[in-house]
Amino acid sequence: MPLPSHGRYDYVPITRRPDFTWPGGKRLAVYVAVNLEHFAFGEGLGAALAPGGPQPDVLNYAWRDYGNRVGAWRMLEMLDELTLPSCAIANAAMFEYAPELPKAFAARGDEIVAHGRSNSERQGDLDPAAEAKLIADSTETLTRHAGTPPRGWLGPWISQSRVTPDLLQEAGYAYLLDWCHDDQPTWFRTRRGRILSVPYPQELNDIPAIVARQMDAPAFADMIVDQFQEMQRQSRGQSLVMGIALHPYIVGQPHRLAHLRRALSEIASNRERLWLTTPGAIAAAFAALPQ
């Protein structure tokens, strides 16, 4: 008896797919995603360094705010030193709270990806009309500040309702990042067409690794290097996507940044064999392939 299904895509094993290459004949596309997030003071959701007390939870709010005030700026310095592109996955609230930060990423030529209004809420909790408004509000803010509409979306807390892909496609989005089910992009069916799912990591992601599983900074850096080296081997026969998901209030802390620098330096030193890029460029290149 079949289990309930989302119906968005069919099962096709990675060993049974048409071959293709990324621009320049490259096989492994690598992108670095820096999540720029803002949180309501005294209410709503938020990652926690330690068990907090009653609201306002100053300990954890201040820890998260360190990322916007210090950590992200140190990460920008590191990305510039390594000549690595990135994408800024930005809450719309960042353009009101700390507009200098997403603008600094945009000035590098980095892609700005929509990430809801703030990370104090989940869109999957909303009814369709309220979710459509959340998407519209976020899109309008990013478009007004960045000058062009965002092409990609990552839901706050990787939250989706049953109609999220439909709403995103209808709002003009080309791709979404919420699904970690593959190492290649996947076309999703929607009620009015299709939208592309670009791989976004939940393993190479500092929130599940460091906050949830209590992994230390050297181990997280080793995981990035191990993933990179193994995917280089696998990509000899098949083009793949490797994403690295980072949050400045976590890996922007100096003792963690030192190890992240080591891991990203390993990737940068192999740039001639890679496509160092953004998820938007990956989506555009995949969409241009013969179907």
pLDDT at 51: 85
Strand partners, 244: 32
pLDDT digits (tens, 9 = 90+) for 176-225: 999 999 999 999 999 999 999 999 999 999 999 999 999 999 999 999 99
pLDDT at 2: 87
pLDDT at 52: 78
Nearest to 173 by CA among 214, 141, 139, 219: 139
pLDDT digits (tens, 9 = 90+) for 31-53: 999 999 999 999 999 999 888 77
Q: Please give the CATH number for the structural domain made up of 26-39+53-287.
A: 3.20.20.370
72-82 and 254-268 helices cross at what angle (nearest 10)? 20
pLDDT at 287: 98
Strand partners, 60: none
User: Number of H helices and number of E strands within the chain?
Assistant: 11, 9
The secondary structure of residue 24, as a DSSP letter, is: G
pLDDT at 1: 81
Q: How far apart are CA 130 and CA 124, in angstroms?
A: 10
pLDDT at 137: 97
The secondary structure of residue 70, as a DSSP letter, is: I
The total of other beta-carbon atoms located within 10 Å of residue 4's CB is 5
pLDDT at 195: 98
Nearest to 94 by CA among 55, 138, 130: 138
Helix (H) or strand (E) holding 188: strand 186-190
| 87 neighbors 30 (Cβ within 8 angstroms) | no
| 114 neighbors 152 (Cβ within 8 angstroms) | yes
pLDDT along the chain (291 residues), means of 10: 93 96 98 98 92 89 97 98 98 97 97 97 96 98 95 97 98 98 98 98 97 96 98 97 98 98 98 98 97 76
pLDDT at 104: 98
pLDDT at 202: 97
